[in-house]
A and B are shown apart, each in its own frame.
Chain A
Amino acid sequence: MTAATADVSGQVVTDKPAKGRRSDRSRSEVRLGWLLAGPAFVVMLAVTVYPIIQAFFDSLYSYRLTAPADKHLVGLHNYVVVLSDPVWWRAFGVTTFITLVTVLVEVIVGFALALVMHRAITSLRGVLRTAILVPYGIITVVSAFAWYYAFAIDSGFVNHWFDWVPGIDTNLNWFAHQGTSLFVIMASEIWKTTPFISLLLLAGLAQVPGDLEEAAQVDGATWWQRMRKVVLPNMKAAIMVAVLFRALDAFRIFDNVFIMTNGANGTTVLSLLAYRTSIGRLEIGLGSAISVLLFLCVIGICFIAIKLFKVDLASARGER
């Protein structure tokens, strides 16, 4: 029931309009809303929806850029080739591994950093926050080069500094084995993206009602008990959102792998496979199929998170 009441100053204030009927005022509000938000909306859709649809159409052809005369329709054959190829599944496995490990480490380290930022004594707050945010501003490619040069067998210092660790000596070629290459790649990824996660967690931490924690402290709970019983349960939504965002980012990892190993030694990830096929081999059809599958995987992760784990994006949408 539309309630158009006039308040004290004579301005008309409307409540929620009745279903199906909008007053003139709220209709003009809707129009204005779309007018203002429309351009942003249209731009976002145009830059993403058109390419992904085009990619889908391209994936139905066998099309090599340097053999344009041979382009022909093959339907879903490219998808069959990709999904039955161990190269795809190996890349899928590596990507999933990187995602799981980096998310886990970053949530833990990010939480620690969030606590530090939250509880920092005033004099140290500025220094700590600046330091924690520096990796956030660094270009990923720069981070990749920095970590790469540090660990490289000829120019790096890591082998010299850490040769007291069993297994590390000046002969260790970090980028010649899958395990060690992945370690450095993940280290760079974790270093660069933890600040963002720690800020998401900090937001969640700051919203835990202070009195709840104080009450627990008065009741004699230890720090660990306070964490487990009061802080973490209240942060569940924020943690899940942080995990989801981080997982989506990690699954699409590209820059670090491209710069450090370019996929050698079994470090090929899905984005790199798509790049190598579309742009390296100029096989547009096959590459587009990989691109579309990658997109579907990302959608899949979202779906699992929202439907299965009931990740609540309301706070991300700002409806707290």
Chain B
Amino acid sequence: MKTKTKERAEKKGREISVANLPPDLTIQDPQDYIRRVRSTFLAKVREKKGLDQDAVAKKCGINSDELKRIESGKVHEQDMMVLNTLAELYGIDYPSLLFMFKLAKLQTEETTLKMAAHHYQRIDDETQGKIMSFLEKIKESIQ
């Protein structure tokens, strides 16, 4: 039979242990996490822009199967030329795409916030737009 002290200790342990984090907060596999972010982020932004895969692929100089592979998160390496074209078409930060494909080491805070705003399901389009323009204003004032 467990003593109350032991139960408290276990409970406390669960509270502070990384292993006890709920599944949606645990990054079990960093590669898988990056893949999931890539796979949801790129397709979502393209759809929001109302662009179809064929048109985007053509602009990038690749075929639509290749774009599907990129959007599914199965591609670990990508040409910077393609990522730059995607960044321009989607209106997102080019270095952030490089970061997602492990071509850049650092991500700016601005990029992190933009990606979070794009990615967070509960923020509606209007709010996302406000966040984006607010970040742009900050950026301009710094420059």
Q: Do A and B bind each other?
A: no
| A interface residues (Cβ-Cβ under 8 A, vs B) | none
Interface residues of B (CB under 8 A from A): none
